[in-house]
Structure formats: C-alpha cells, structure tokens
Amino acid sequence: MINQTIAIWDNTGYTPQANELQPTLTTYVLDYSPEMPHHDKRPAVLICPGGGYFLTSDREAEPVAMRFAAAGFHAFVLRYRTTPARHPSPLLDVSRAMWIIRENAHQWHVDTDRIAVCGFSAGAHLAGSLGVFWHQEWISKTIEMPRGINKPNALILSYPVITSGKFAHRGSFENLLGKDASRELLDSMSLELHVSKLTPPTFLWHTFDDEAVPVENSLLFANALRKQGIPFELHIYPEGQHGLSLCDKETAANYGELKDWVNHHAASWFNLCVEWLNDKAFCTTP
C-alpha cells in the first residue's frame, strides 16, 4: 500500500491564508500485482470527514479508508480547511484533491471514470458541494485547474448537512459562512437548491432520530435528485444518533456509552454502498 500524506497546495500557484489549517491528502493506494490482472485499474473513494466545519473527525477518516481499501478501492482522506477558513476554501480543497488523484491516476492505477466522494455530516456537505458545483468556471479559474478534472463520478453522503433552511445544522453554516451570513449567501450553499443534470448518482443514508442533523436533510437532497432524474439510493434507519461513522466499536466516540455507537442495523450502510458503487453508480454516471 502507498500510504503518504500530501500537502495539497505545495508547488502550486495557490496559497492558503497564514491563519488557515494547511490541508492534506492521505493516500491508501493498494499495491498493483500482475497476479491480479483484473485490477490493473481500481475505483477510488475520496473521503471527507465531518466535524461541523470546525474540525475533521478521525472517526470518519482512516477507519473508513481502510474499509474501502479492504473492499478493493483505493482510498484517500482529505483534511480540508475548517474555521476560521470560510467558503470557498473547503470547496477549493476538495477540487484540488480530485485533481491530484486524477493527475496521479497512472502511477496509482486509478480508474478515472470511477472516483466517488464520500462525506460525513459537514464533510458530506462538502462532498455534496463538489457534486453540485464541480462544473462552475470560477473554481477552475481560482486555482488554475483544468476544467472538469474535479468531477466526481458518484457521491456518498452519510447523515449529510444539506440545507440552510428550516432543518439546517446552524453550526456548520456559521463556521462555513460566518455568523452574519445573508440569506442570499446561505441559499447559495443550500445544496438542495443547486442539484442539476450534472450532479452525479448519489448514495445517502441517515437515521430517523438524528437530533443534530435532521433526516429532512437527506430527504430534501433525494427529492431534488428525483426532480432532475439523477439516480440515487436512500436508506433511512429507524434508530441511531448523529455521527455513527461505521456504526461499530472501532469508530465509537470517546463520549457517551458504547452501545450508543454500535448499531448493527445501520452498519449495513457500508456493504450496501459498496454494492451500489459496483453494480449501479459507476454504470450510470452521466
């Protein structure tokens, strides 16, 4: 396995501000072996951990990458800029990460037509932002990026922050846009308002009783996808708190009781997602 951490803006014409976290991309690239010729090129998953745009959670980073690697995917974890950085810094970071993956696709044996972005909570907002905004010209101009190289072929949104409206996770939007953000600015990052024919196929999962990020966030995005005719798969689990990650002991948080983090039913999301990626998503990308 090629396991390295890359400072994503080194040796580029773009420089993050001095008071911002310097974003990195950690690779979990599976070794190529001629004994397995059917894996000359593998699909990849770019992982955006959650954390309310305040931090990037370890619980939604390497453990998830290792699970995807075990399922035959190259995996990458993006530690994107969080507060005090503001929009569009995280969106530029995830665009740059996709650029790096495609730029190194030959040496890493990545199938450039099968790259998914997987996000959790606020990280899912970032993944979704790439899904709905990847084609906008201002992104490529700002970071001098070849246009379209940041396109995701599929989205995986885990208990996502989506809307800035009635069911918003206010803290995420305050960290991303500032406490005094105008309604116009908030709407500009309310993802259900920006789904288009260019948005990729999407896998969503949420729990019904999520008290931090209401389930309506996933429902709103799914409804927007339906209106545009974009294929999606949506799973709503009846029980489970916010931030379950892989729903097992390995990713249980250091607060609350262990039983609150181990959810065998919701844990099915991962295998369902892998099945969806292999059998559906990468076969139907627009």
Percent of the chain having pLDDT more than 90?
90
Has residue 151 got a pLDDT over 50? yes
Q: Is the pTM of this model over 0.95?
A: yes
Which sign does the torsion angle of CA 172, 147, 225, 67 carry? Answer: negative
pLDDT of residue 36: 80
pLDDT of residue 21: 85
Tens of pLDDT along 46-90?
999 999 999 999 999 999 999 999 999 999 999 999 999 999 999
Side-chain-side CA neighbours of 203 within 13 Å: the count stands at 27
Has residue 284 got a pLDDT over 60? no
In the sheet that holds 5-7, the strands lie side by side as 5-7, 24-28, 74-79, 42-48, 110-120, 154-158, 202-207, 232-237
Tens of pLDDT along 165-186?
999 999 999 999 999 999 999 9
Has residue 285 got a pLDDT over 60? no
Across the range 268-282, mean pLDDT stands at: 93
* CA-wise closest residue to 20 among 29, 9, 33, 34: 9
Across the range 263-283, mean pLDDT stands at: 93
pLDDT of residue 286: 44
Residue type, 274: V
Across the range 230-259, mean pLDDT stands at: 96
Q: Is residue 126 classed exposed, middle or buried when 0-12, 13-18 and 19+ CB atoms within 10 A define those classes?
A: buried
Q: What is the CATH number of the domain that holds 69?
A: 3.40.50.1820
Percent of the chain having pLDDT more than 70?
99
pLDDT of residue 283: 63
Confidence of residue 20 (pLDDT cuts 50, 70, 90): confident
* Structural domain count of the chain: 1
Tens of pLDDT along 187-240?
999 999 999 999 999 999 999 999 999 999 999 999 999 999 999 999 999 999
Q: Cα(272)–Cα(208) distance, rounded to whole angstroms?
A: 18
Q: What domain range includes position 220?
A: 5-283
Strands 5-7 and 24-28: antiparallel
Has residue 159 got a pLDDT over 50? yes
Has residue 266 got a pLDDT over 60? yes
Across the range 135-159, mean pLDDT stands at: 98
